[in-house]
Amino acid sequence: MTDKKVLTIQDISCMGQCSLTVALPIISACGVETIILPSAVLSTHTGGFTGYTFRDLTEDIPGIMNHWEKESIRFDCLYTGYLGSITQIEYVYDLKKRVVKEDGLLIVDPAMADNGSLYYGFDDAFVAQMAKLCGSADIILPNITEAAFMTGCELRLEGQDEAYVQMILEALAKLGCKKIVLKGISFEDDKIGVVVYDCAEKKAEYYFTEKVPKSSHGTGDCYAAAFTGAMMQGKTISEAAKMAADFVVDSIKKTDDGHWYGVCFERALPMLVTELNK
């Protein structure tokens, strides 16, 4: 039995199967206590709905952090997802310093772009600050779009090869992070994968799965949550990266046609739990 505590800061999109509404159930299913710090509350996510509400909770963050610090509450891991502003990025450094154990992990999912575009509401200044935050992380989980935006490298959604991926990895490593799990790698039409990179050893390890021909929202959040849960259960970074990839593929496959705003990850949780406990 482990008794690890993960703090995750990201928004609550009340409806839409992303951010905290996937992080909490997935990490909990992994058997890991999950503490949440909601950065904002939206009626839905911003990726396809219109007219959503948005309540910024930035002002609440210092008070919550102060209370935890006073209570001597300390976390084994801080995992950051969708953050709504540069001020919120700045609070992540405070959280790391004040409420994460000295040997605690900082896992950063940039959660700001996909398929060649920034999510609604983000700009170059936010990208620059997110790149800086990634530089202070133990592990970063960018997709290829976020990686290109943060490094200024050319973005290739198609026509990638190992030389291209190596260039992106080296540029990401220069930000200062220790390890990288880069998502959205594809050298063959019917395969998609991740590459795990150790920045000190300069070692890359690829893992490919079948590419399900469907565009799916929220898969990055499902990936990050499963990855974090597996890491906290003592899996190696390679094992966690593979388990999370398999979980996302299973989630996409189990999603009904026409279910456009997220993936039915709930149906894939039993498989994730079985794999974790093997």
Chain contacts with ligand PXL (rule: CB under 6 A) = 11, 13, 18-19, 42, 45-47, 82, 111, 119, 218, 220-221
Give the Cα separation of 199 and 196 in Å (integer): 10
Nearer to ligand PXL, 76 or 221 (CB): 221
Give the Cα separation of 34 and 18 in Å (integer): 16
In the complex, the smallest distance separating the C-beta of residue 140 from ligand PXL, rounded to whole angstroms, is 16
In the complex, the smallest distance separating the C-beta of residue 81 from ligand PXL, rounded to whole angstroms, is 7
In the complex, the smallest distance separating the C-beta of residue 150 from ligand PXL, rounded to whole angstroms, is 16
In the complex, the smallest distance separating the C-beta of residue 262 from ligand PXL, rounded to whole angstroms, is 8
In the complex, the smallest distance separating the C-beta of residue 39 from ligand PXL, rounded to whole angstroms, is 9
Q: Judge whether 126 and 116 are in contact, CB under 8 Å.
A: no
Give the Cα separation of 262 and 123 in Å (integer): 24
Nearer to ligand PXL, 193 or 218 (CB): 218
Nearer to ligand PXL, 111 or 177 (CB): 111
Q: β-strands 117-118, 113-114: how paired?
A: antiparallel
Nearer to ligand PXL, 55 or 101 (CB): 55
Q: Judge whether 37 and 61 are in contact, CB under 8 Å.
A: yes
In the complex, the smallest distance separating the C-beta of residue 204 from ligand PXL, rounded to whole angstroms, is 26
Query: Please, is 153 exposed, middle or buried when counting C-beta atoms within 10 Å of its C-beta (0-12, 13-18, 19+)?
Result: middle
- Which alpha helices (H) appear in the chain, and where do they start and end? 20-29, 61-70, 86-99, 124-135, 144-151, 162-173, 219-232, 237-253, 269-276
Nearer to ligand PXL, 18 or 61 (CB): 18
Nearer to ligand PXL, 47 or 135 (CB): 47
